Each structure stands twice: as structure tokens, then as C-alpha cells.
Structure 1
Amino acid sequence: MPILTLQGLTKTFPNGTMALKGVEMAVEPGTVHGLLGANGAGKSTLIKILAGALAPTDGAIGWHGEDRNWTGPAGPRAAGIATIYQHVPLVPTLSAIENILLDQRGTWRSNQAEQARIERIVADLGNPFALDALVQDLPIGQRQMVAIVAALAADAQLIIMDEPTASLAGHERDNVYATIRRLKAEGRTVLFISHFIDEIMALTDHVTILRDGRAVLASPTAALDEQDIADAIAGRAVAALERNGHRAAPGKAVLELRGLASPGRLVPTDLTLHAGEIIGLAGLLGSGRSELLHAIFGADPQARGMVLLNGVPVPRRTDEAVIAGLALVPEDRAGQGYVPLLSISDNIAMGDDRGLLQAPARERAEADAAIARLAIKTPDADALPTQLSGGNAQKVVIARWLKPRTRVLMLDEPTAGIDIGARTDILRLVRTLADDGLPVLLVSSEFEELIAICDRILVMRDGAVVRELDPASTSETDLILAAGGSRADISEGIDA
């Protein structure tokens, strides 16, 4: 009998978004079950439902053959389900053992018997961290291990691991792989979520792939190869944006990187971006894409190496980068892209050298022009960005940087979380800007977007550019395999 079953699991949010559409899944006891899917496929929603953080709209959850209707996280925890989230929710000012005790008992006060049991669990795992170390002093890999120990201390039967290796270095991943094998040997069950296909192939017994809220593939892992998995992940229809045919050759070199590196984030990277060229940066979470943009923009104080704009070195500060002509549209548009209490007009003016000091009439005229150019749907320029849809708010952030001084536009996930219509508008705008001569660096987790509008695609992994691909002869499956397929450098750690 499966330890966990999902039958027709559906989740519709109040705004009408249907994140899960009748998902079926069965997880056998004592196995490692892989769960994959592209961004937006429904993985996070499914995990939150299993953890009790969200309630399904319809469908049934079976636990040891009995239907369950959990109304909060306490239910799954009491039943024996532990969830280890990608961003580990630990208290940084408490020690590792205090965090584990807090998770188990609701207090970090020491209980001698419980502390001794935790010490034995940690010892059995090879003492991957010091129990008395403050969590804020531990690297991310050791924080993951603290969360795993908390799950083991709770005697969980099913341990859900959400992208546990995405942000880890090679030796830290090896610890996670060894722990998963140990859990399976003990008869525990693991639901393992990962973008790395090689991990799924090496570690799991069964695999389920979600696409657009549905389970489109369920199979024993041994019956599949990496190509099968990549094809299933990539199977959804491409957005209403087709790659143009012939494109003009790029112009002169505008942006040059020479040995740009950051300890623990980026290996030394060389890159040349030409006028009118769009270079796409493909990769999975933690691959170094955003880190590269931040290093170029002077937002990483640890970065070393040279950034040249039209042959002139750019000082390693964000204000100097902006003055030189670099523009960065960040991934977190609400937190970093706009000021929520300022109007659209004021937000757009902030990207100007004169900022909010320019004449109100001129500021308003420029805002109205940007609204018309980018087709921003708003009552007027006095509205707040928070009153707009996600796609229109993103257009405001982009408009802020479309100034005469901008020489290079860097976009970090510009279409994340927006509807298909606004997404297509933004991509067409980016292509138009490039056709007018503006060079663009584009980070996107939607690989079909990169194929549709980029001139070159650089694949990043573990902080390094590992491949360069021509979009004209590259499929989404090719990109998925390049970003998440076989890695010779970690195969030994997985297969050990």
C-alpha cells in the first residue's frame, strides 16, 4: 500500500489562478520519489498542501490508506510528515540544537534525554555541524542538515525535501546525497524535489513530473532516461512569441567582463556583449545568473575583476555603475524595483539623473510617454505601482531605466509571475530595444523565452558559464539538459 496518495488534487486561488488541476500521485513506502517540473508547474503549491500550509480546493489526500483533511501544519507533523523547505526557516540567533529542540518541543530549553537523542542522530550522520554553533554562523549546507536532523528527531516517516541541493557546493551536496541514501536504508520515505535531472536519475526510485498543474508523467525512474524527463518538463506550449528569422549582426563591443569573480558565487568569467545583442543567461536556481548581474552592477562588494563599458572600466559601486550607463531590473520588483508609496510618475523619474528634482510638468510628460510606449494599463501616471497588475508594475520598473544614458540593460526574471499577455508584451519590447541598438543581458527560468528572443544563450552552473548555445538550433529540451543534466564533477558523489 502506498504511504501517500493524491487523487484529483486541485487548488484554485481566490484570484482565479488554478495551480493544481487534478494531480494524481502515489508514493511507495521506503522509496525516494522524485518530483520535477518547470517554474510554475505547481510543485510549491503541492508541497504546501502536503505540509498543511494550504488547503486543497478539491481532491483527496490518502495517508496509509486513509483519507486525510488537514487544516494546518500540525496535522501532517503529527501524522509523521516533515517538510524541509529550500529556504530553511531557522532562528539565526539560536544554536543548532536549540533550533532542533524548538522544532520538537516548542521551546529551546534543554531536555537531557532529548538532547542525548539528538546528539546520537547527529553522530550517526557524521557530525555535519556543531550542535552548539549559532545557526547564523553556519553555511547554508549545514543549515540544511540542521533541518534534516529536526525531521529525524521527529521520527518522520515521510520527509519532503524541497530543492535541498540548489544552493549547495559540491561537498555539501554529497552530505545530502548520503543522508538520503541513509534514510532509504532505514525504511523512511523521501519526496525529493529537484531541478537537477542527474540527481533524480541517480537517487530516486520513482518520478512524477508536473506541467501546468497536472501530473504528466509518473514512472519508475529506471524506465526513463534524461531525455525522457527533459521532454516531459518542456512539453507545454510556448508563449505566443515566435523566434524571428534573420537578425542583423551585432554591432561593436559595449560591455566586457574580464575575470569577473566572487568568492563562493562566481568563478572568473569573461564575456563580451555587443550593441543590439541579447545574451540570455540560462541555468537553475543557484547557478549564478543573478549573482553575475549583481557583480556587473557593483552590488557585490566581494566581486573582483574588471567590467568595461565602451572600453572604460566601471567603478565597483552601484551609483557609479548607474552613472556609467548600466541598468538592472531586479527579480524582486516589489522589494527592489519600485517604491510602493510613490506614483508611477515619480518611480519613472527616479531613473533619471535629475531624479525627483526635475520640473513636474516634464516629469509628467516623460511618464505619460513611457505609459504609452510600454502600453502600461493604468488610470493615469498618478496611480501607485501597487494598484497595477504584476505585468504592468514590471513595465513601470523597466520604464524607469529606459533613459538616454542607459548603455546596457540587464533584466533578471522580467516575466516572473505575470500573465501571458503582459509577458509577451515585455519580451517584444526587449527585442525592439535590442533592434534599436541597446544591448541586453536577460536572465529567465522560462527557457522558451530565451530561445525566442536571444542571439546567444550562455548556460550557467555552479557559478560558471559551462556552455554557449545558438538559439536558432537549440530546443528547450537542450537547455534543460545543459542546465540540469549530467554533471561529471558530481557523479561520484551521487553514485557513492
Structure 2
Amino acid sequence: MEASEQVPLMRLEGLKKSFLNGAVVALRGVDLTIERGKVHGLLGANGAGKSTLIKILSGAFPASGGRIVWKGQPVQWSSPKEANVMGVATIHQHIPLVPTLSVLENVFLGDDGPWRRDTSYRSRYDALCERVGCRIEPDTLVADLSIGQRQMVSIFQALGTGAELIVMDEPTASLASDERELVYATVRRLSRLDNKAILFVSHFLDEVMALTDCLTILRDGQAVLRAQTCDMDESRLAEAIVGRQLVAMERAEVTPHPADAPVVLELRELASPGKLAPISLTLAAGEVVGIAGLLGSGRSELLHAIFGADPQASGEVVVGGRPIARSTGAAVKAGLALVPEDRNRQGLVPLFEVWRNTTLPALENISWRRWLPVRLLEHARGAEAIRRLKIKAPSPDALVTELSGGNAQKVTIAKWLFSNVKVLLLDEPTAGIDIGAKTDILRLVRELSAAGMAVVIVSSEFEELLAVSERILVMRDGRCVAERRLDDTSEHELILLAGGLTPQTAAASTERPWH
């Protein structure tokens, strides 16, 4: 073996990153060593610092401190292009391909010159397909490919640059099981046969255990665990990710709904091709049901299907004993309300004021003869929303773009509270907001359920689900893989179930003694 092969391909030494003049610290001195021929797993909860670290080592962000050592030499990359030229390729979670170009054009997109007419590129493409063990017709438009095929095109693209380190950010999150197996086989082939270094970022504990050679866990911007994968198990990974021995939370604040409460929502074999396997569910007035699952598990797809936002959905949604038509208009009229995960694009009108956003779903109630909105009444409703939800805004006339993330989220919820909502669907209602706003929103969920409203809440923070839910459904690969009553589960078990363990294996893991 040559001396150069004995030097780690990349070392991150004391890597630091802060934003807003040091007010927000994302990385607090991370050390990480990546070697050729190995798959290195990178894990951590949301906000642990994974994305920031990836952006630094791929040249998208400059580090605030520490250094990157590439093939034994300190480097400073000013752009992803520079890092890519040096041999680092990043396959992002949201695949940045050009849908109107062909597979071949996307694979060699970064090459200069009139290459589209150069037949040598087809030979290079054929060689890439043979190396990976997968072939996609080169003249097919990317827009016509499945998500899994697009992921493979991204891998071809990375290899086409001659990359020695391939960073894969949640590469299987949106893939079906057969597509995942293809990615797994490709990763193994690249590391074992081509001696590539792979940095594999994933939430799925089972695939990390099966695929990686070693791993690093980030928590609060620090590397809290470095280990050989063979020395670990799922329970120890879960404990390190969260940062404590996982136990059931204190649930004194969760009040069960009355036993005689009427059923307000019933799902009958609700399904969507390629997104959601058939699921049936009943929800009573005043009940809170949590949906636990990782990215790509089908949790958001379930809410969209319930709300009539998925035109391909089948099965029935029954509200108050009556099946409703498959449309968002019919859902709202029946008493369903959805607070979407992407509040800026789907939940708010950014150029509208607080009062105008608040009154949109139920204008007829504050309109003259249910036709012409009365500005004075709209303004009063905006003021009431600010008071009721403790929205920090100077007045109802403030634009929602001027509000903090937490206060903007409160507006997305407030707009549904002045109409006849029977079932509130919350998709990641506390994502990206501060702890104070999170507390306010979770308290509001309890208040609404106590007043008789049924709530379905999706959250990546399983601790939050345990704080407000009576029962929790665990989603994976578009299926409900487990249902747990509040008193019969813990954050530990939910993480294991969402990460791919069977209910029986997860239950056994939670009973192991801790060391």
C-alpha cells in the first residue's frame, strides 16, 4: 500500500460554525475522520448540526473555526464547485437535478464545452452504469424518472466528476424498499470495489447498522460518540442521539378524552399509490393522536390524504358520520383544518397582514350578507388572534413576514380557530421555532382538545408527541407499523420503531439493562 493510501482521505479538526455574529452556534468543535473504502455513518437529531457540517465539508459554508485536512493537507474551499473539483461530491436529500434535461445531460452537467454532441460521453456513461450495476436509459428526461431513479442519476453524477468522497444526505428517505436496496448495493459496491469513501447521513437506525463500517453521532453541535458500527446496537444509538437514557415522560398534563365522546373522524382504508398503504382510524372528540415517523415515512402524506389534498387517494374519510368528497373545499366545509409543514408556502400569504391571514378561511362569518368582507370585523378578529395565541406582533396590521417563525406559525393555527373546526391536522407545528413558542403551541393543543376538538399531530420530536397525545401511530415506508397507548410506550421505543425495528424487537430492546 502506498503511503498516500495510509493517510485518511479527510479529517475535520475542531470544526466550528456560528451564525448571526456568534448568537447561534451550530458546531462546537467537531472532529471527524473519513477513510477510503469505508462507509461512515453520520447521525443526530434534527438541529444536531449534520446539515451544517455537510455544507462546510462540501464548500457551501465557510467554517468559523477549526480546519479541513484533505489527503494530509489543510484546505479551504470557497465553493461547492471547488470542493467538487478536488474530489468531494455531495448528493443532497432534495435531489438538485434539471428535470427538463436528459439523464446523460444531468450526469455530465458540470462539464464544460459542447459535450452533448460528444459520443465519448455515452461511453463514459456506459462505464458508470457498469460500475454501479444499474442502467437508466441516457436519453430519458429526468422529469419522467421515479424518485429512486433520480437518486441513482445523482450517484452517476457524483461518480462522473471522479469524486473520491461521496456525501449522501438522507439518500433513502423518500425511496420505496426496492429502490433503497439498489442504493444500498451501490454504496457497498463503491466502498468495497472502488475504494470510495462514503459519508452516509441517515435517520434510519437499521440501515445504519447494516450498511456502515463506523459512525459518528452529533448532538447540540458536538460529536458525542465515535464508534465502530459492529460495537453498537440500536438502543445505544438511540440513547446517544437523544442524549439521555430514554424513559417514559411525565404525562400528568395529558387528560384522556371522555369515554362517551362521539367519533368525529373515521378513516376507512385510506390509501395513496406509492405513498400510503391502506390505513383505518377512528378519532373521538377531544382526542389527540400523535403520528411518529421519520422523513419519508408517510406521515405528511397521511394528513394530506385526510384533508383531500391528494387527488390519487382512495378509501373514505368520514367526518361526523358522513363521508366527504375528496377535495380540500369539502374537507374545510366538513370541519377539517390543516396546518401544513411548510407554513411560508402552504400556510400563509406572506404579503398579507396578520388580520388578513387570520380571516381567510371563514370570511363569510365577518362579511355583509356573507358576501362583502367588513374590514372592521376582520381587523378585530386579527386582534383577537393576537390576544388568544399570544402572538408577538405590534398590531394586526403587521405583515406575517415581519414576524418570528414561532409567531408566524401561531398565525397559521389561529386562522382555523374562528370557524367550525372539528378536527385539526398539525404537520410539524413546532419545527424551526424557539422553545417558548413550542410551549405555547403544545399548550394550545391541550386547550383545544379539552374544549372538544380532535387533533392529529405529526412531529419529529417524539417527546412532544408524548407530551400531548393519548395514543401514537408509528409510520414507516407509508405504513402504520405500530400503535401505542400513551402509558405503554416511551421515546426510546418510538425511535426504535420509526428506525426500522419490529414492535417485538423494539420492546425487547427497551427492556435491556443500561450500562
| 1:84 Cα offset (Å) | 0.5
Q: Distance in 1 between matches of 2:307 and 2:182?
A: 34
Which of 185, 198, 201 is 2:206 aligned to? 198
Q: Is the contact between residue 8 and residue 23 of structure 1 (CA under 8 Å) also seen in structure 2?
A: yes
Q: TM-score, normalised by structure 2?
A: 0.91
| 1:387 Cα offset (Å) | 0.3
**Counterpart position of 1:478:** 493
Relative to structure 1, is the Cα distance of residues 182 and 405 closer, same or farther in structure 2, using a 3 angstrom cutoff? same
Counterpart code for 2:148: G
**Counterpart position of 2:312:** 302
| 1:336 Cα offset (Å) | 1.0
Tell me whether 1:188 sits opposite 2:196 in the alignment: yes
Counterpart code for 2:162: D
Counterpart code for 2:37: G
| 1:160 Cα offset (Å) | 0.4
Q: Distance in 2 between matches of 1:20 and 1:475?
A: 29
Tell me whether 1:55 sits opposite 2:62 in the alignment: yes
Which of 249, 252, 256 is 2:257 aligned to? 249
Q: Is the contact between residue 354 and residue 396 of structure 2 (CA under 8 Å) also seen in structure 1?
A: yes
Tell me whether 1:280 sits opposite 2:290 in the alignment: yes
Q: Distance in 2 between matches of 1:8 and 1:202?
A: 29
**Counterpart position of 1:97:** 104
Tell me whether 1:178 sits opposite 2:216 in the alignment: no
SS at match of 1:146: helix
Q: 1:226-269 deviations in whole A, cap 9, x for unaligned?
A: 1110111122699xx95325623342211000010110011111
Q: Distance in 1 between matches of 2:486 and 2:111?
A: 50
Q: Is the contact between residue 61 and residue 68 of structure 1 (CA under 8 Å) also seen in structure 2?
A: yes
**Counterpart position of 1:491:** none
Q: Is the contact between residue 9 and residue 59 of structure 1 (CA under 8 Å) also seen in structure 2?
A: yes
Q: 1:28-81 deviations in whole A, cap 9, x for unaligned?
A: 221000001111111111111111111111111111121111111122111111
**Counterpart position of 2:342:** 332
Q: Is the contact between residue 335 and residue 422 of structure 2 (CA under 8 Å) also seen in structure 1?
A: yes
Name which of structure 1's ranges 60-69 and 409-418 shifts more when overlaid on structure 2: 60-69
| 1:353 Cα offset (Å) | 4.3
SS at match of 1:468: strand
Q: Is the contact between residue 256 and residue 470 of structure 2 (CA under 8 Å) also seen in structure 1?
A: no
| 1:127 Cα offset (Å) | 3.5
Which of 230, 243, 261 is 1:235 aligned to? 243
**Counterpart position of 1:379:** 394
| 1:403 Cα offset (Å) | 2.1
Q: Distance in 2 between matches of 1:485 and 1:408?
A: 30
Which of 162, 166, 173 is 1:159 aligned to? 166
Q: Distance in 2 between matches of 1:45 and 1:169?
A: 27
| 1:27 Cα offset (Å) | 1.4
Q: Distance in 2 between matches of 1:69 and 1:57?
A: 12
Counterpart code for 1:425: D
**Counterpart position of 1:27:** 34
Where in structure 2 are the equivalents of 1:79-478 lying within 5 Å?
79-105=86-112, 109-185=116-192, 186-235=194-243, 243-245=251-253, 247-250=255-258, 251-354=261-364, 357-478=372-493
Tell me whether 1:4 sits opposite 2:10 in the alignment: yes
Counterpart code for 1:190: I
Q: Is the contact between residue 337 and residue 425 of structure 2 (CA under 8 Å) also seen in structure 1?
A: yes
Relative to structure 1, is the Cα distance of residues 160 and 315 closer, same or farther in structure 2, using a 3 angstrom cutoff? same
SS at match of 2:223: strand
Q: 1:90-132 deviations in whole A, cap 9, x for unaligned?
A: 1111110011121333765232223212212113333331111
Relative to structure 1, is the Cα distance of residues 216 and 107 closer, same or farther in structure 2, using a 3 angstrom cutoff? farther
**Counterpart position of 1:494:** none
C-alpha root-mean-square deviation of aligned residues, in Å? 1.8
Q: Distance in 2 between matches of 1:237 and 1:384?
A: 43
| 1:314 Cα offset (Å) | 1.2
Q: Distance in 2 between matches of 1:474 and 1:62?
A: 44
Name which of structure 1's ranges 202-211 and 2-11 shifts more when overlaid on structure 2: 2-11
**Counterpart position of 1:45:** 52
Structure 1 spans left out of the alignment, 5+ residues: 489-496
Identity of aligned residues (%): 56
Name which of structure 1's ranges 97-106 and 477-486 shifts more when overlaid on structure 2: 97-106
Relative to structure 1, is the Cα distance of residues 30 and 412 closer, same or farther in structure 2, using a 3 angstrom cutoff? same
Counterpart code for 2:187: I
Counterpart code for 2:484: L
Q: 1:136-165 deviations in whole A, cap 9, x for unaligned?
A: 000010111111111112111110011111
**Counterpart position of 1:493:** none
The number of equivalent residue pairs is 486
